[in-house]
């Protein structure tokens, strides 16, 4: 674990959480799956743990993230 932390710059747990949040972001933007399904597919142990981790990394709830990013994307494409 010491070598992992030295090389990657974070603990194994923090790295896994970062990977799960990244996968959740991808799923939120590329599928119409519910946030419950996204949490499960991203490997979260529970819905509440997923929301806490997602909010900590992204600063907002998964549904709000999806809405904001898709709306911004539509604005860029239209403009």
- Tens of pLDDT, residue by residue over 21-34, are 999 999 999 999 99
Domain CATH number, residue 18 = 1.10.10.60
More confident residue, 77 or 60: 60
Phi/psi of residue 10, nearest 5 degrees:
-155, 170
Contact by Cβ (8 Å): 21, 62 = no
Number of domains in the chain: 1
Name every residue whose Cβ is closer than 8 Å to that of residue 51 and which is 6 or more positions away in sequence: 39, 61, 62
**Mean pLDDT, to the nearest integer, of 5-34?**
95
């Amino acid at each position: 674990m010491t070598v992992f932390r030295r090389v990657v710059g974070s603990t194994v747990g923090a790295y896994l959480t970062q990977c799960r949040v990244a996968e959740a972001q991808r799923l939120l933007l590329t599928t119409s799956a519910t946030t419950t399904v996204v949490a499960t597919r991203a490997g979260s142990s529970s819905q509440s743990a997923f929301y806490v981790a997602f909010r900590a990394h992204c600063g907002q709830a998964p549904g709000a993230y999806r809405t904001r990013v898709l709306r911004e994307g539509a604005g860029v494409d239209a403009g």
